[in-house]
Chain A
Amino acid sequence: MEMFDFTLIWAALIGFGIMMYILLDGFDLGVGILYPFAPDEASRDVMMNSVAPIWDGNETWLIMGGAGLWAAFPLVYSVFLPALYIGVFLMLAGLIFRGVAFEFRFKSSAKTRRWWNLSFFLGSSVASFAQGAVVGAYIQGFETENKVFVGGALDWLTPFTVMTGFGLMAGYALLGATWVILKTEGEVRTWAYGIANKLLWLVLAVFLAISVWTPTVNAAVFERWFGHLNIIWILPALVAFFAYQLWRSLRQHNDTRPFVMTLGIFMFTYLGLVVSKWPVIVPPDYTLWDAASAPESQLFLLLGFLFVLPIVLAYTTWTYWVFRGKVRPDAGYH
């Protein structure tokens, strides 16, 4: 081993990047999923305004994560993308459509606006479903030979991944609803309290199903959870704690806490997933170290990453700071 284990550093960096992406793009995708259910067109204006200035910064993390994976863990890149070929296409198409809807909805008349609304909803939903299915496919594992994917184009599509797909949609919608609670007032917010409560139960049901299903279909995961590593049970305990707090804060019609609690649910579920699989990154056979690129390549890119990452973080923080507070119907973003 080298002086530093760059593989661990890169695992931490990319793990962090993916979590940032799920938390940040999660709520703006969720706003898109909830779009058709909003009470009226004025609410939709407010909802879109609440995410318009930040969504593209949120997607930055996806591109950084994707490019970083190729450079640091090329085996993940070269197995996941062929295995998830159709899912990746659907995700990209969805993200493109909703990105364009963001830009042109504000510039259009009522006549064409309907189409941009639809495009925003469908793009967000398809992209979210595809991401959820990717998570499911990761839990399932991939058929490889000599580090090459040898399975079929639709191997990823199973009842389990369909469930994780819809599960992540529900999760993102919950993030979106609590974001709307955080950022709006009046009728929209009242509606968001109602729908967030329903979504919470849905999300818990899906999480429970996944938690029961996963260890039973996957012996390694079963061993991890029911072996000797009892400390990891703190993760699901924390998820339950945050879920309870979310339920309470929704009942109390609190503004900020629902969103924070939902972030907590997501973060510890994500860590739970990481713990289930660690250190396997291309299941079932390959660990982080099998998938890593050459140390000199990892170092070469690390220098640039360490320079740019603080700038992106500072920029992200500043953006959120500038747009803090409630979005009002009259103060349009454009």
Chain B
Amino acid sequence: MELDPLLLSRLQFAFVVSFHAIFPVFTIGLASYIALINGLFYVTKNPDWSRLAYFWTKVFAVAFGMGVVSGVVMSFQFGTNWSNFAYAASNFLGPVLTYEVITAFFLEAAFLGVLLFGRNKVPPAAYLFSAIMVAVGTFISSFWILSANSWMHTPAGYEMINGMVHVTSWSQAIFNPSFIYRFAHMVVASFLTGGFVVAGVSAWYLLRQRDVAANRRALSMCLWLLLVLTPLQAFIGDLHGINTLEHQPTKVAAMEGNWETQARAPLLIVAGIDQDAQENSWELAIPGLASLILKHDVNGVVPGLTEVSPDEQPNVLAVFWAFRVMVGLGFLMIAVALIGVVLNLRGRLYNTTWYQRLLLPMIAAPFIAVLAGWIVTEVGRSPWLIHNVMTHEQGVTPSLGGGTALFSLLGYMLVYGVVFSAGIYYLTRVVRHGMQAEPEQPSSSLEEFERPARPLSAADVTFDDRTDTQGA
């Protein structure tokens, strides 16, 4: 088989960005959660909140560090593998992505150190303020990233001069038509991810009768949050889908598995996608429902994939099934949140062990749903790299050979495999180590705090069983 540098570059980008995305999607939600429980502690003075905040800040430190390490590769990949694209779009994407970088540094320089190391060394109000600023900073970071990404789906506020993008309106370009939907969808996804991780870990502790009081609080509060957030996410997703229908109808047709433009389009629950034949070999469908959802009218006309020629269609199989994975997990998350709140209201949440056990695998659900969602939107826009402006084929680095691309793809798999196995292994150790009481005497003087330090060093758990004997 001949090695195709275009395909390999797409695989490499997908691999690196997926690996990277796992961490920010979790830390963005967790940062807000930490700010929230610090706020609750500030108001109620209940030490349970403080213990929870202390523990989850350690987890945040490790996940944040991993996100930064994997993000460095991202900032070079546009140039190494997509140099034509990077050059053509540099006037917009260069400044926007650089703003993300400097926002992140500003955040780290100013507030992260206080959040991670300043717990007993600054006034409570200043500490709470830092926690809030870190949460705000993660939103600003994702604001820039999603603006850049949305612009590639729905470019606006620019003109092309000699094959290069020139920005004519920064506000139209940054707040391009799909931006606000994508941003809202992603922020709520981060909240859901943080929520299910906290719920799952709390349940894990409760099953082992560790730190019962604090973890009951955490679990109960999480379930109430998830009860609101899970249906809200479905609602935002629907709005996002309708926006996509307007700007990228072919993507929606691939999500629906809909080949022909038709009124009373059915909603396919599952189907046998046959892209060669440009039809489905079999379908399980609810008549008229796709038209009802997308056009809010059973007789609405929904465009099909055959509106464009087959070489302008994305890989329908991948988009169709990734969409079903995302939506299916979304409904599952709604159901789990609902059951939890019902149990809670009946006072049976803390002694229903099957439910607590169910929450453990549910930790994976939001991560898988997020990755599936990104597969839907990113695979769904192909062959376009910038919608209706530049294809993947035009954007890829012309000098790149198949062997070179394979070398770096395998290399990144190896590097990330080793490094992130170590990181995730360490995260599980932090959790198993448990919610220690805060150090009695805040490790010495003011001078200690004045040392700025890296995020990961906020976690004091050992990497292997050297001193673990005094662990909980």
A residues adjacent to B (C-beta < 8 A): 52-53, 56-57, 60, 63-64, 66-68, 70-72, 74-75, 77-83, 85-86, 88-89, 92-93, 95-97, 99-100, 102-104, 106-109, 111-112, 147-153, 293-294, 296-297, 300-301, 304-305, 308, 311-312, 315, 318-319, 322-323, 333-334
Can you list 13 A-B contacts with CB-CB less than 8 angstroms, sorted by A residue number?
Answer: A64-B101, A66-B76, A71-B98, A81-B80, A106-B457, A109-B465, A148-B83, A148-B87, A151-B399, A152-B401, A153-B404, A293-B94, A318-B452
B106→A77 contact, CB < 8 A: no
Interface string of B62-103 (1 = CB under 8 A from A): 000100010011011011100110110011111101110110
Among A52, A83, A107, the one with the most B-chain Cβ atoms within 10 Å of its Cβ is: A107
Closest to A108 in B: B463
Q: Is the CB of B451 within 8 A of A53?
A: yes
Complex CA–CA separation, A161 to B302 (angstroms): 59
B92 A82 Cβ-Cβ under 8 A = no
**Does B170 count as interface, using CB distance less than 8 angstroms?**
yes
- Chain B residues in 8 Å Cβ range of A53: 451-454
Interface string of B19-55 (1 = CB under 8 A from A): 0000000000000000000000000000000000000
Known contacts A89-B408, A149-B399, A153-B401; A108 and B462 CB within 8 A of each other: yes
Q: B105 on the interface (CB 8 Å rule)?
A: yes
Partner of A150, one of B95, B398, B451, B457: B398
> Cα distance A277–B261 when bound, in Å?
60
CA distance A293 to B404 in the complex (A): 29
A-B pairs, 4 with minimum CB distance: A81-B79, A71-B94, A74-B90, A78-B87
Cβ A82 vs Cβ B83 within 8 A: yes
CA of A81 to CA of B397, assembled, Å:
10
B401, A104: Cβ atoms under 8 Å? no
Q: A71 vs B90: C-alpha distance in the bound complex, in angstroms?
A: 6
Question: In the complex, which residue of chain A has the Cβ closest to the Cβ of B110?
Answer: A311
Question: Which residues on the B side are within 8 Å of A92 (C-beta)?
Answer: 72-73, 76
Task: Find chain B residues with CB under 8 A from A83 CB.
Answer: 399
| A237 CB → nearest B CB, Å | 37
A96 touches B79 (CB 8 A): no
B422 and A104 contacting across the interface, CB-CB below 8 Å? yes
Nearest chain A residue, comparing its CB with the CB of B89: A74
**Is B126 part of the contact surface with A, judged by Cβ < 8 Å?**
no
In whole angstroms, what is the CA distance A79 to B408 when docked?
Answer: 18
B464 at the interface (CB under 8 A from A): yes
If A82-B400, A85-B404, A151-B399 touch, whether A99 touches B98 (CB-CB below 8 Å) is no
CB proximity of A26 to chain B, nearest CB, Å: 18
> On chain B, which size bracket covers the interface?
35 or more
Flag B440-472 by CB within 8 Å of A: 1 or 0 each.
000000000011111011001111111000000
List residues of chain B with CB under 8 Å of any chain A CB: 65, 69, 72-73, 75-76, 78-80, 83-84, 86-87, 90-95, 97-99, 101-102, 105-106, 109-110, 164, 166-167, 170, 397-401, 403-404, 407-408, 411-412, 415, 418-419, 422-423, 426, 450-454, 456-457, 460-466
Given the complex, which residues of B lie within 8 Å of A60, measured CB to CB? 105
| A153 cross-chain contacts in B, Cβ below 8 A | 399-401, 403-404
Contact across chains for A304 and B415 when beta carbons are under 8 A apart:
no
User: CB distance A103 to B415 under 8 Å?
Assistant: no
A248 to chain B, nearest CB (A): 34
In the complex, what distance in Å separates the CA atom of A52 from the CA atom of B102?
22
Q: B463: which A residues are within 8 A, CB to CB? A: 104, 107-109, 112
Q: Which of B80, B98, B418, B466 is the one whose CB lies under 8 Å from A67? A: B98
Residues of B within 8 A of A79 (CB): 83
The residue of chain A having its C-beta at the shortest distance from the C-beta of B94 within the complex is: A71
A70 touches B94 (CB 8 A): yes
Nearest-neighbor residue (CB-CB) of B62 within chain A: A103
A78 touches B91 (CB 8 A): no
Q: Which residue of the partner chain, among B415, B452, B462, contacts A97 with CB atoms under 8 Å?
A: B415
Q: Do the beta carbons of B99 and A301 come within 8 Å of each other?
A: yes
Chain A residues within an 8 Å CB radius of B83: 77-79, 81-82, 148-149
CA distance A107 to B415 in the complex (A): 20
Residues of chain B within 8 A (CB-CB) of A64 are 101-102, 105
| A82 pairs with B399, CB closer than 8 A | yes
- B76 lies within 8 A of A297 (CB): no
Interfacial chain A residues near B415, Cβ < 8 Å: 93, 96-97
Q: Point out which of B73, B463, B464 has the most chain A C-beta atoms below 10 A from its C-beta.
A: B463
Please tell me if the beta carbons of B84 and A294 are within 8 angstroms of each other in the complex: no
**A86-B404, A148-B83, A150-B398 as given contacts; A308 in contact with B105, CB under 8 Å:** yes
A294 contacts B91, C-beta separation under 8 Å: yes
Question: Which residues of B sit under 8 angstroms from A333, Cβ to Cβ?
Answer: 451, 453, 457
Docked-complex contact B466 and A109, CB < 8 angstroms? yes
If the complex has contacts A109-B464, A148-B398, are A63 and B75 also in contact, measured as CB distance less than 8 A?
yes
B84 CB contacts on chain A under 8 angstroms: 78, 148
B102 contacts A304, C-beta separation under 8 Å: yes
Q: Of A56, A300, A323, which is within 8 A of B454 by CB?
A: A56
Selected contact of B79 from candidates A63, A70, A293, CB within 8 Å:
A70
- The answer for the CA separation of A301 and B92 in the assembled complex, in Å, is 10
B350 CB to closest chain A CB (Å) equals: 34
Given A77-B79, A296-B167, A301-B95, CB of A67 within 8 Å of CB of B101: yes
Give the chain B neighbours of A104 by CB distance below 8 A.
422, 426, 463
B228 to chain A, nearest CB (A): 35
Q: How far is the CB of A255 from chain B (nearest CB, A)?
A: 22
Q: Which residues of A lie under 8 Å from residue B92 when comparing CB positions?
A: 297
- Which chain A residues border B69 with CB–CB below 8 Å? 96, 99-100
* Separation of A147 and B397 alpha carbons in the complex (Å): 12
Say yes or no: A88-B76 contact (C-beta < 8 A), given A148-B398, A311-B110, A322-B450: yes
* Docked complex Cα distance between A334 and B99 (Å): 33
Q: Report Cα–Cα, A86/B110, bound state, in Å.
A: 35
Task: Report yes or no: A82 in contact with B90, Cβ–Cβ below 8 A.
Answer: no
Q: State the Cβ distance, B357 to closest chain A Cβ, in Å.
A: 31
The reply to whether A293 and B91 form a contact with Cβ atoms under 8 Å apart is yes
A52 cross-chain contacts in B, Cβ below 8 A: 454, 457
A108–B466 touching, CB < 8 Å = yes
**Alpha-carbon gap, A235 to B19, bound state (A):** 46
Is the CB–CB distance between B91 and A107 below 8 Å?
no
Q: Is the CB of B101 within 8 A of A322?
A: no
Complex-state Cα separation, A95 to B69, whole angstroms:
9
Q: Min CB distance, B112 to chain A, in Å?
A: 11
* Given A150-B398, A153-B404, 5 new contacts (CB under 8 A): A67-B101, A70-B93, A100-B69, A107-B461, A297-B95
**B454 nearest CB across to chain A (Å):** 5
B108 to chain A, nearest CB (A): 8
Roughly how many angstroms separate A239 CA and B360 CA in the complex, as a whole number? 62
CB distance from B452 to the nearest CB of A (A): 5
- Are B457 and A103 neighbours in the complex by a CB distance under 8 Å? yes
* Residues on A with beta carbons closer than 8 Å to the beta carbon of B399: 82-83, 148-153
Q: Are A78 and B65 in contact (CB under 8 A)?
A: no
A304 to B94, CA, bound (A): 13
Tell whether, in the assembled complex, residue B90 and residue A78 are in contact, meaning their CB atoms are under 8 Å apart. yes
CA distance A297 to B98 in the complex (A): 11
Nearest-neighbour CB distance to chain A for B381, whole angstroms, equals 22
Asked if residues A80 and B106 are in contact (CB atoms below 8 Å), the reply is: no
Find out whether the CB atom of B87 lies under 8 angstroms from the CB atom of A301.
no
CB distance from A167 to the nearest CB of B (A): 23
